[in-house]
Amino acid sequence: MTMDNLGTNSLRLERAGPIAWCVIDRPKARNALTPAMYFGIKRAVRLVNTDKELRALIITGVDDVFAPGGDLGGRYEPGDEHVPAGLTHETLPFVAIRESTAPIIAAVNGICQAGGLLIAMMADIAVVSERASFRVPELLRGIVDATYAATLPAHIGLARARDLLLSARKLDAAEAQRIGLVSRVVPHEQLREAALEAAREILMTAPEARAHVKRMLNENYRPIDYQTMFWSLQNSPEPREGMRAFMEKRAPAWVPPGLADKR
């Protein structure tokens, strides 16, 4: 097994024959994704689409966390390559995963939230440990997430998308599968082999025909309103207050008095 550099020590790209594994490996921060990690995942997707020795990519995490989303502190780790300032559409990997010609499998080993859940949703197949849990917490932090607004209704329907986006509640693997958020739930100890099997199954299909079908499937998504999303991140006080509240372990200022302690 050989390894490739993805621009950060918090991601490992491991080759195993025609299948590459992108392992999210930042346990001290519970796999929170830095800008360099987001961009590194995008680099991994590009690699499996250009390297003639590779045919598919499996994305997974270490320990009991797949990915909880972006590091709200905006931190870089030692050895991280710097990427375009902030989280821009050029940095984020979600569209690259969705449009990848090479199959992308998410092997969801544990906590899967925010940007981590988007990675799982945009993958061709999400194979999920029975121990996994899910959440769309962006509005708790004052973040307008245009990718969710454009894609989540296509996965689970408008009513359920409203529920998950506006309530930010948690759900377990069984509920996620029942509502169509993910497709396969397996015993935790079988996750690796189940993810490999999903990759093998897709690789048995004709690549050109598969690419056309993927394009047709992707037409079910609405256009992503990045303009509003990034304007809000740069200009609205709510994301800054939400991030400060998260770091200070308190309720944001917009929560009505007496309500925060009931969550």
- Residue 57 near residue 45, CB atoms below 8 Å: yes
Kindly report the pTM of this predicted structure. Answer: 0.93
Domains delineated in the chain: 3-218 (3.90.226.10)
Enumerate the β-bridge partners of residue 58: 21, 105
pLDDT mean over 104-115: 98
Which pLDDT score, from 0 to 100, does residue 90 have?
Answer: 73
- 86, 232 Cβ separation under 8 angstroms: no
Q: Is residue 85 predicted with pLDDT exceeding 60? A: no
Q: Is the pLDDT of residue 223 over 90?
A: yes
Alpha carbon of 260 to those of 50, 91, 118, 169, 245: distances in Å?
A: 49, 34, 27, 14, 12
The share of the chain scoring above pLDDT 70, in percent, equals 94
The per-residue pLDDT for 102 is 97
